[in-house]
Structure 1
Amino acid sequence: MDRSENNSVKVTKNMHHQTISAHMTHVIAGGTGGTVGALITCPLEVVKTRLQASTSRAKLAKVSGSKRSAGVIFALRHIVKSEGIGALFRGLGPNLLGIAPSRAIYFGAYARGKSFFNSTFKPESPQVHLCSAGFAGFTACTITNPIWFVKTRLQLDTTHGAYRNSWQCIRYTYKNDGLRGFYKGVSASYVGISETVIHFVIYEQLKQLFRKYHNIEHKNFLDFLSFMGAAAISKTTASCLAYPHEVARTRLREHGTKYRSFVQTLRTVAVEEGFFALYGGLFAHLVRQIPNTAIVMVTYETVVYVLSQV
């Protein structure tokens, strides 16, 4: 092998290592961002889940005297008063266990998808962002659904320990429903990919708009503030458009309920509780998701930037 061939092999290897390094940067950044966001917003996640579920939603409405649903502040106070402040962090274990790999898988798959689709479509076009977000969402949902199932079951436990811990919940589910039990609600999660797609398409377009007015090589505080604003706008829009899948997913994961499929759940909720029940917990969801998404995306962008400078 002559010198030119050796140089060619070295260049190819270096490009390969750089590609792997770039993908690992997105994996690490995604995991870090997800973990920070989950820690800060866990209490609102618990309230949102309670307001989505049929049994706990009805209990909170009865206690508050509301005909439809209790408010976020009332739900927070009631949970602390009746179950203790620790109840606001139910499911935090599987949430932390799941959020880091989930975000790492998602952002890693998203980066890899962009690399592929940029060579297929016009680079950094809406089509690239749409296909990349869809691919990443499907990958993350399929791999991590069992973790979110356990988290939801723990958050809906209002009996002070029907499931004492994640392991007991896992054993009970496997004993009664087998492996399929851990994938309850996955159909709603797949439908929910549309929310992620909308979010990332808008976010990427806003980022491109901001790049016209900012130096992308040397970021400052205003750049990261603009990322936070872009994340908040895109997530709010996506959440409002796709929210009913969240309610359907939570109902499908409840224990011993009549909900069997995604479409059947939507129809049952709308008929029995009214159309607005499909948006139960939306305010709590937005109160949690907007800062959570802003924190996740800014942390992600910060870690990517820092690692790229190393």
Structure 2
Amino acid sequence: MSQAHAPQRSNPARQFLAGSLAGVVASSVLTPLEVVKTRLQASGATRMRLDKILVNIMKTEGIRGLWRGVGINVLGVAPARAVHFSAYNYFKTQAGDNFGIHGTPQHLLAGAMASCTAATVTSPIWVIKTRVQLQRAPIKGQAMTAAEMAYATPLSAIRAIAKTEGFPGFFRGLTASYLGVGESAMQFALYEALRGAYLRAYHPRGGPEERASLPMGASLVLGAAAKLVASAVTYPHEVVRTRMREIPPEGSGGRPVYGSVVSTVKTVLRQEGVRGLYGGMLPHLVRTVPNAAILLLVVEAVSGRGL
């Protein structure tokens, strides 16, 4: 095979940088939708409308309420995305070079393994972020209660979780995250398939593994389409994960209302029906689809060829 047509491998360092930069850019812009989505996924909010949630946050907490947890979100998303994209390329290479797995099965396997790796490594960050975003700000002019102070900031949340729940508290909802590996696997496999189809259609002289990065518009559209389908199909795990990470009730000694994945699903179905498993889906899609499009666009630009 000539050098001109040799498959272009992704540079691990560039993939790590691309994932970090993409995550920071996307999460910074879309934090308000993340806050609204988290509130709608929590118990007691599934029947609230998106506009009412927004108005309520603005009225009671001000503009700062829409940016609750932005610090921990930005600090967390850089390593999370970096680990995710780096792990994806590592497992993709291992599957192809050592096990002879190529095409869609290769992308599905790499996406699933990358999702598990990133979820495990960054679980404490997302538990803290969820607690901070679920903690409503106190009414102006009134002193904060002990419960409000416990999860008012990332540092206070860390202390509260460590004191009342111990080390396992930082990994609540991790099993639900593992259930979500299907979303990541499906997203990456769809993107790779769409990317390959686009390149074969518009650059027929070279295969998808031998071409440079996609044009900006194509990358945005294909990334958004892949994420939209994957997120819509696998969405209930998002609700289950948020419920499992909710702030334990006062006087519970750190014991959460929602325990295991199975018990959480049963409780939601019994109390709220199937609709409860789809609470907050609209703001989630509005946030996550452009987020994924931005992520993949930045990865294409920084890495030089995409995933």
TM tier relative to shorter chain: 0.7 to 0.9
- Unaligned runs of 5+ residues in structure 1 are 1-17, 58-67
Contact 1:44–1:288 at 8 Å: present in 2 too? yes
Once the two structures are overlaid, the 10-residue window that deviates more, 98-107 or 114-123, is: 114-123
Q: What is the number of residues matched between the two proteins?
A: 276
- Unaligned runs of 5+ residues in structure 2 are 1-7, 139-147, 204-209, 249-255
Q: Percent identity?
A: 39
Residues 115 and 77 of structure 1, relative CA distance in 2, 3 Å threshold: same
What is the CA–CA distance in structure 2 between the aligned matches of 1:123 and 1:207, rounded to whole Å? Answer: 19
1:36 aligns with 2:25: yes
What is the CA–CA distance in structure 1 between the aligned matches of 2:217 and 2:289, rounded to whole Å? Answer: 14
Q: Give SS of 1:164's match.
A: coil
For 1:232, the equivalent position in structure 2 comes to 224
Q: Give SS of 1:212's match.
A: helix
For 1:108, the equivalent position in structure 2 comes to 86
What is the CA–CA distance in structure 1 between the aligned matches of 2:81 and 2:153, rounded to whole Å? Answer: 23
Amino acid at match of 2:191: Y
Residues 168 and 303 of structure 1, relative CA distance in 2, 3 Å threshold: same
1:210 aligns with 2:194: no
Q: Give SS of 2:11's match.
A: helix
What is the CA–CA distance in structure 1 between the aligned matches of 2:120 and 2:218, rounded to whole Å? Answer: 32
Q: Deviations over 1:163-201 (max 9, x none)?
A: 231111001100111110000000100001111111111
For 1:99, the equivalent position in structure 2 comes to 77
For 1:4, the equivalent position in structure 2 comes to none
Match of 2:182 among 175, 191, 194: 194
For 1:46, the equivalent position in structure 2 comes to 35
Residues 274 and 22 of structure 1, relative CA distance in 2, 3 Å threshold: same
For 2:287, the equivalent position in structure 1 comes to 288
Contact 1:121–1:127 at 8 Å: present in 2 too? no
What is the CA–CA distance in structure 2 between the aligned matches of 1:306 and 1:113, rounded to whole Å? Answer: 17
Q: Deviations over 1:280-304 (max 9, x none)?
A: 0000101111111111111111111
For 1:71, the equivalent position in structure 2 comes to 49
What is the CA–CA distance in structure 1 between the aligned matches of 2:211 and 2:264, rounded to whole Å? Answer: 48
For 1:265, the equivalent position in structure 2 comes to 264
For 1:27, the equivalent position in structure 2 comes to 16
What is the CA–CA distance in structure 1 between the aligned matches of 2:154 and 2:211, rounded to whole Å? Answer: 44
Contact 2:212–2:304 at 8 Å: present in 1 too? no
Residues 98 and 125 of structure 1, relative CA distance in 2, 3 Å threshold: same
What is the CA–CA distance in structure 1 between the aligned matches of 2:120 and 2:187, rounded to whole Å? Answer: 19
Q: Deviations over 1:11-43 (max 9, x none)?
A: xxxxxxx98x81111110011111111011100
Which segments of structure 1 move beyond 2 Å, counting only runs of 4 or more?
A: 120-124, 159-164, 213-220
TM-score, normalised to structure 2, is 0.85
Alignment of 1:106-145 (within 5 A): 106-120=84-98, 124-145=102-123
Contact 1:118–1:124 at 8 Å: present in 2 too? yes
Amino acid at match of 1:224: M
Give 1 or 2 for the bigger CA radius of gyration: 1
For 2:144, the equivalent position in structure 1 comes to none
Whose helix fraction is larger, Structure 1's or Structure 2's?
Answer: 1
Residues 172 and 210 of structure 1, relative CA distance in 2, 3 Å threshold: same
